[in-house]
Structure 1
Amino acid sequence: MYRKIKQLLAASSNISLFLWAIFCLLIYLFMPDSPRIVPQQLTTVELSAAYSENPQQLIDLHDFDYVIKQPPCKPHTRALIMVHSAPLNIDKRSVIRRTWGSPSVISTSSPLRLFFLIGAVGDDAMQSMLLAEHTRHGDLLQGNFLDGYFNLTYKHVMALKWFHTRCEQAQLLVKVDDDIYLNTPQLLEHLRSPFPTDSILEQTPSENLLLCAIRNRDRVIRSYSSKWRVSFWEYSGRYYPPFCPGFAVFYSSDVVRRLYLAAQRSSFFKLDDVFVTGLLSKRSNITITDLTPYVLSPEELNFLLSRGTESDQLKFLVSWHEMSAQQINGLWQLYDIDNTSY
């Protein structure tokens, strides 16, 4: 009898120990900012050090290449617009070509240049469609990494790489998503000399410029159910440093260089906006300038489309993201109505 009681107590003790271990594991996995995690190692970026450009390196990729290429920028190019686009977003690219990215604004003699950034596809038929699209329009730049959400970091750094190696004489890189409206006539006004007195680009320095609708104190998401989950091993802090939401970012050429060199000397991080404009800009001592006053909000957009507007009211530089084709077309028509010259 005594032996049975002893065995029962031992079994109960083992079960309790097992449950306690499970409980501790759950605390470890879900407790924010576990002190046992070693913070992400920061790479010191020495910009004055000699640097040898390896055309086949893109962060941790050592076999990088362009599948669809672009010729270098012309000497008169002052701003390069790079549009992040998914291979299947053919309709979105078509809308941009008909509106704010049309030849009426971005011609061969224009100081603006535009093309769309895409990654590789695993389907031969899709690749043939992309090649046909490029043959017709000549505005695609494709890298050999697989196109996908968590490869956006490669796409973002590919933009920096191409600008740094083939368009560095330009003053400005504009990186946007394919679901926004970039006010290219207004951008041309900002690029004219002398600058308009109310130009945001006149109010900011031509160097050390990183301009966007800044995000502050965004909390790191740890939930396994979230698309944006980041583990403690990837990033240990509770909050990200200030960074740029990716729908529209403006970089001066020197900032492109500094961010690109920092990316080439850093480990891969899957959230491209946080990585490039947050972590790398902090390491490179780059200050973000807030673009928010020049971003057209959804409420302002609805007001413009429902009421119309005078041309002198269209001083925004970019819209908020997730615009429909109908909204982009409607906003573009306001320029035709007002006979805006560009």
Structure 2
Amino acid sequence: MHNRKLFIVLTITFVSVYLLFKAFPGDGENEGRTQEIVKITNTLGKSWILPDEDTIMMEPLNSTRGTPPPYMLVMVITSPANQKRRSLLRNQFQTWENMAKNWNITIKFLFFLGGSNEDETSMDKLFQEGSQHRDLVIDDFHETYLNLTLKSCRMLKWVNLRYPSVPLLAKLDDDVYINWDLIFGFLRNKDAPNLIAGSPFSSAYPVADPTSKFYTPPIVWETGTGYPTYACGVFYILGKRVRQELYKGALSTRLFHMEDMFLTGIVRERFLPDVGIQEIKEYISTLHLEGNPWSILYSGWGPCQFYEGVAVAHSLSVKRLQCFFRIGYFCKNGFVHAVKILCPKE
């Protein structure tokens, strides 16, 4: 009788523990993610960046041969599945190139992504897209959030190899709205070779919540100890000297899982202590938009006030980006009363 009661108690305990883990699977996932982050931060940059190896799976043919480099090269950071975003942005490239000419600036746009974890069908589609548009640079790495540092470093590797003399490099995520007129105006009279520009984070601390994508384990960076100032990774601009020094410095530095903090924070502070981050003041990190077109505008602005006053806004859906581009077109061309566009609720 005693053994039977013991068996029942043990069975109930086992089932309860099993159900608990089934209900809250995050602990095991978080532990695995912590181990991945620790592995990254114990890795010297050059062992993953592979500076002496050709890791490119596809690039635009003859992209630099026989033509002078642009004043600014914009590398749009994208993922294989984001074809709609790439198509939307491509439709804007010519407009932006013409806009740059008004400032006596030449500009070129390319997409950068990883392809090694794609199946054969997906890779065929990417190669077809790249062959058609000649604007894809595909590197041999897995597209994961924790590989964003590797992604940015491989991007710098490719740019330094293919565009070594380009004065300015802009790194841009594919969910970001840019008002290039404001950016070009910002760049006037800047010390281009030594430039780092974007939205500086000067009082950032490690996130202690293991469920956050920004989580940093205390074993990696002590909770409560601030990060060095760094530029928000959705959009920043690097001068030629800065770009080259950051890449070289990254090779001899242990990696960090937040790419913007790694390159423009840790590596910058170590190898370019004399270079600060210049703020693009019209940089809006998040916009909370409603369905009413007149509430698109931040702080109660009207649509064209928004266009004239916001240089960068990120984390936007394809529909929101389309809406923003239309606003830009109408306001730029003086069709103020034509701005009757609904930005969809999401």
Alignment TM-score, normalising by the size of structure 1: 0.71
The CA deviation string for residues 76-131 of structure 1, in whole angstroms up to 9 with x for no partner, is 411001111111111111111123x3x34338x98111111111233111111111
2:279 to 271, 285, 290: 290
Instruction: Figure out how many residues of one structure are paired with residues of the other and give that number.
Output: 275
Q: Is the 8 A contact 1:172 1:250 kept in 2?
A: yes
Q: Would the alpha carbon gap of residues 167 and 61 (structure 1) be closer, same or farther in structure 2, given more than 3 Å must change?
A: closer
Alignment of 1:1-342 (within 5 A): 58-59=48-49, 63=53, 65-70=55-60, 71-73=62-64, 74-99=67-92, 101=93, 103-106=94-97, 111-120=106-115, 121-187=117-183, 190=184, 199-236=185-222, 238-284=225-271, 285=273, 286-295=275-284, 298=287, 302-303=296-297, 307-309=302-304, 314=308, 316-318=310-312, 320-338=313-331, 340=333
Q: In structure 1, how many angstroms separate the alpha carbons of the residues matched to 2:256 and 2:221?
A: 9
SS at match of 1:128: helix
Q: Is the 8 A contact 2:59 2:134 kept in 1?
A: no
Q: Is the 8 A contact 1:106 1:112 kept in 2?
A: yes
Q: Would the alpha carbon gap of residues 220 and 335 (structure 1) be closer, same or farther in structure 2, given more than 3 Å must change?
A: closer
Q: In structure 2, how many angstroms separate the alpha carbons of the residues matched to 1:69 and 1:151?
A: 20
SS at match of 1:225: coil
Q: In structure 2, how many angstroms separate the alpha carbons of the residues matched to 1:206 and 1:163?
A: 17
Once the two structures are TM-superposed, the CA of residue 294 in structure 1 deviates from its matched residue by 4.7
Once the two structures are TM-superposed, the CA of residue 184 in structure 1 deviates from its matched residue by 3.3
Q: Is the 8 A contact 2:284 2:314 kept in 1?
A: no
Moved more, 57-66 or 250-259: 57-66
Q: Is the 8 A contact 1:83 1:177 kept in 2?
A: yes
Q: In structure 2, how many angstroms separate the alpha carbons of the residues matched to 1:222 and 1:287?
A: 27
Once the two structures are TM-superposed, the CA of residue 245 in structure 1 deviates from its matched residue by 1.4
SS at match of 1:83: strand
Q: Is the 8 A contact 1:60 1:267 kept in 2?
A: no
SS at match of 2:261: helix
Q: In structure 1, how many angstroms separate the alpha carbons of the residues matched to 2:205 and 2:154?
A: 27
SS at match of 2:194: coil
Q: Is the 8 A contact 1:296 1:317 kept in 2?
A: no
The CA deviation string for residues 4-47 of structure 1, in whole angstroms up to 9 with x for no partner, is xxxxxxxxxxxxxxxxxxxxxxxxxxxxxxxxxxxx89x9xxxx
What's the Cα RMSD here? 3.2
Once the two structures are TM-superposed, the CA of residue 156 in structure 1 deviates from its matched residue by 0.5
The CA deviation string for residues 221-250 of structure 1, in whole angstroms up to 9 with x for no partner, is 234333332234433462211111111101
SS at match of 2:49: coil
SS at match of 1:231: coil
SS at match of 1:277: helix
Counterpart code for 1:59: I
Once the two structures are TM-superposed, the CA of residue 200 in structure 1 deviates from its matched residue by 2.0
Query: Match for residue 3 of structure 1?
Result: none
Report the structure, 1 or 2, having the larger helix content: 2
Q: In structure 2, how many angstroms separate the alpha carbons of the residues matched to 1:111 and 1:202?
A: 14
The CA deviation string for residues 171-215 of structure 1, in whole angstroms up to 9 with x for no partner, is 11110111011223554xx2xxxxxxxx32225322311111111
Moved more, 172-181 or 162-171: 162-171
Once the two structures are TM-superposed, the CA of residue 134 in structure 1 deviates from its matched residue by 0.9
Q: Would the alpha carbon gap of residues 306 and 215 (structure 1) be closer, same or farther in structure 2, given more than 3 Å must change?
A: closer
Computing the radius of gyration from Cα coordinates, the structure with the larger value is: 1
Counterpart code for 1:112: I
Q: Would the alpha carbon gap of residues 328 and 225 (structure 1) be closer, same or farther in structure 2, given more than 3 Å must change?
A: closer
Q: In structure 1, how many angstroms separate the alpha carbons of the residues matched to 2:108 and 2:128?
A: 21
Counterpart code for 1:68: M
Q: Would the alpha carbon gap of residues 233 and 72 (structure 1) be closer, same or farther in structure 2, given more than 3 Å must change?
A: farther
Q: In structure 2, how many angstroms separate the alpha carbons of the residues matched to 1:215 and 1:245?
A: 7
